[in-house]
Amino acid sequence: MGNATAEIQAALADIKGDGFGQARTLPNEFYTSEEFLELEREEIFRKEWVCLGRVEEVPKPGDYFTTELIDEPLIVVRGQDKKVRVLSNVCRHRSSVIVEDKGNKKHFVCPYHAWSYANDGQLLRAPHMDKVAGFDVKNCRLPEFSTEVWHGFLYVNLDGKAKPLAPRLKGLEPYVQNYHAEQMTSQFMNEDVWGTNWKCLTENFMEGYHLSVTHINSLHKITPTRLCEKIPGGEGYTGYKSGYDPNFPQRKPYHNDVTDAEKRLSMMFCIYPSHVVGLYGSGVIHMCLRPRSADQVVTRWGFASFDPKPSRKSVKGALELYETINREDREKLESLQRGLNSRMSTTSKLGPADLEGPVWDIYQYLAKNLTPEKKKPRLRRVS
């Protein structure tokens, strides 16, 4: 472990367990150190539940899409048995990537030597390998990773050792259950790379302080900063309510369980470490974030609607709004990343809890998971 990582861990240890009254930003190396990112990759992204997308992206047997997580190429596929799996996208022969993009296939055929796999991962055919003593096709299959589905979102755990996700989100349920995101239908997904640290984008999505500045001509008219209200965070999440301007019309359609109060807000939340979600009566927008480098984040983002067959006009309108918001955020965050590399970058107190409280929760989550547990002082023996 290098000096940069040790210094950042010391800064995290210094704030661990502190209440919001002590809330301050962390040193710029927290966002710029490649060395510290390696610790995050191994201790967070390999060990935690990380969202890959929505299960309805693969609605029919054979439907699949490919992605990757900390250098692990992955296939998300619905098998002939209708089960959704996350499989390794690496051939068991010479480690070639097997398939790209998305589509529908009964079999995955490696383009290098034509080893063929069923969409549950079982090897079906390996040309000429019948001439190799001791090789048995039946005993070869693609590794399958642990998965969990929560409200229609698909999460993967690479090391297979994470505690179940749903119990860690129990405190979030009262805020999201009436929207029934599990009944929504994906309308758009896209993958992009932004020139900022993954935590900068996670934090940006989770604070309402910037809404009426960065998004003065877009979100400010819908969800202004003044109407943000933080909710208590939990073991696996943080969030806030983003209230609607009284002049903004209701978004329809929505589930009958949605209350009048819930119709007038978006529920913004983060499932640690890097799944950020904006849930509202008629739909949901979300980002699955994963680090590429200290100053680049891959974002797989999209939206789903409660209406399974919305009009082209409504989908186009939603997409135009979200792309505008993303463009505005991206511009500010890439500027922020340049500023973080300055020697003049400094720490500062965070804004009010309703506006930047979730950022402090994210810091506390990382402090808990990336710093050693403090040893209890030994009791002296009395002779």
- Summarize pLDDT for 50-61 with one digit per residue, the tens: 999 999 999 999
Provide the pLDDT for residue 376: 43
Residue 308: closest CA among 174, 176, 180, 154:
180
Residue 144 reports pLDDT greater than 80: yes
Are both 317 and 237 inside the same structural domain?
A: yes
pLDDT over threshold 60, residue 224 = yes
How confident is the model at residue 3, as a pLDDT? 86
Same domain, 123 and 44: no
Q: Do the strands 296-305 and 237-243 form a parallel or antiparallel pair, or are they unpaired?
A: unpaired
- Give yes or no for residue 382 having a pLDDT over 60: no
12 shares its domain with 129: no
Q: What is the pLDDT of residues 197-212, one digit of tens each?
A: 999 999 999 999 999 9
3-state secondary structure of 209: coil
Distance of alpha carbon 242 from alpha carbon 208, whole angstroms: 7
Mean pLDDT of 305-326: 96
CATH number for position 15:
3.90.380.10
Tell whether 136 and 38 lie within a shared domain. Answer: no
Q: Are residues 143 and 218 in the same domain?
A: no
Burial class (CB in 10 A: 0-12, 13-18, 19+), 337: buried
Shared domain check, 336 and 288: yes
Question: What confidence tier does 374 reach under pLDDT thresholds 50, 70, 90?
Answer: low
Would you give the DSSP letter of residue 47? T
Tell me, yes or no, whether 38 lies in a domain.
yes
* Alpha carbon separation from 72 to 18, 143, 290 (Å, rounded): 35, 11, 12
Closest residue by Cα to residue 109 from 131, 134, 127: 127
Q: What percentage of the chain has pLDDT greater than the value 90? A: 95
Query: If residue 314 lies in a helix (H) or strand (E), which one and from where to where?
Result: helix 312-340
Q: Which domain holds residue 118?
A: 51-149
| Distance separating alpha carbons of residues 167 and 156, to the nearest angstrom | 16
The helix/strand/coil state of 248 is: coil
One domain for residues 37 and 134: no
Confidence of residue 251 (pLDDT cuts 50, 70, 90): confident
Look-up of token digits 């969202």: 51
Selection from 297, 289, 255 nearest residue 270 by Cα = 289
List, for residues 278-314, the tens digit of each pLDDT value. Answer: 999 999 999 999 999 999 999 999 999 999 999 999 9
Cα distances (angstroms) measured from residue 152 to each of 33, 101, 148, 232, 304: 34, 21, 10, 23, 10
Q: What tokens appear for 218 in the block?
A: 């877009």
pLDDT at 378: 45
Classify residue 104: in a domain, yes or no. Answer: yes
Q: Is residue 230 part of a domain?
A: yes
**Which distant-in-sequence residues (6+ apart) come within 8 Å of 375 by Cβ?**
none
Paired tokens of 176: 């999201």
**Does residue 96 lie within any of the structural domains?**
yes
Residue 73 located in a structural domain:
yes
Examine the pLDDT at 16 and tell me if it is beyond 80: yes
What is the average per-residue pLDDT within 144-156?
Answer: 98
Q: What is the biggest distance separating any 2 CA atoms in the chain, rounded to whole angstroms?
A: 82
Six-digit token string for 52: 């890959």
Same domain for 195 and 218?
Answer: yes
CA gap 371, 210 in Å, rounded: 30
- 85-94, 246-255, 329-338: which has the minimum mean pLDDT? 246-255
In a domain, 181, yes or no: yes
Average of per-residue pLDDT across 183-208: 97
Give the residue-averaged pLDDT of 229-236.
98
CATH, residue 65: 2.102.10.10
> How confident is the model at residue 381, as a pLDDT?
46
Average model confidence (pLDDT) across the chain:
95
Residues 256 and 211 in one domain: yes
CA 159 to CA 239: how far, in whole Å?
Answer: 27
What is each CA distance from 366 to 1, 11, 166, 290, in whole angstroms?
17, 11, 20, 15
Phi, psi of 140, rounded to the nearest 5 degrees:
-130, 130
For the stretch 26-39, pLDDT in tens is 999 999 999 999 99
**Structural domain count of the chain:** 2
Q: What is the pLDDT of residue 373?
A: 74
What is the full DSSP assignment across 265-300?
A: EEEEEEETTTEEEEEETTEEEEEEEEEEETTEEEEE
The pair of structure tokens assigned to 252 is 């329809």
As to burial, measured by CB atoms within 10 angstroms (0-12 exposed, 13-18 middle, 19+ buried), residue 307 is middle
Same domain, yes or no, for 104 and 197? no
* This prediction's pTM: 0.94
The candidate with the shortest Cα–Cα distance to 254, out of 181, 152, 322, is 181
309 shares its domain with 190? yes
| Res. 125 pLDDT band, cuts 50 70 90 | very high
Give the rounded percent of residues in the chain with a pLDDT score beyond 70.
97
**The pLDDT value given to residue 1:** 55
Regarding whether 229 and 143 lie in a shared domain, the answer is: no
Mean pLDDT across 316-331: 97
Residue pair 60/26 in contact (Cβ under 8 Å)? The answer is: no
Query: Would you tell me the crossing angle of helices 353-370 and 198-205 to the nearest 10 degrees?
Result: 140
Residue 16 is classified by DSSP as: T
Q: What is the pLDDT of residues 159-176, one digit of tens each?
A: 999 999 999 999 999 999
Read off the pLDDT band of 250 (50, 70, 90). confident
Does residue 160 lie within any of the structural domains? Answer: no
Asked, for residue 215, whether it belongs to a domain, the answer is yes
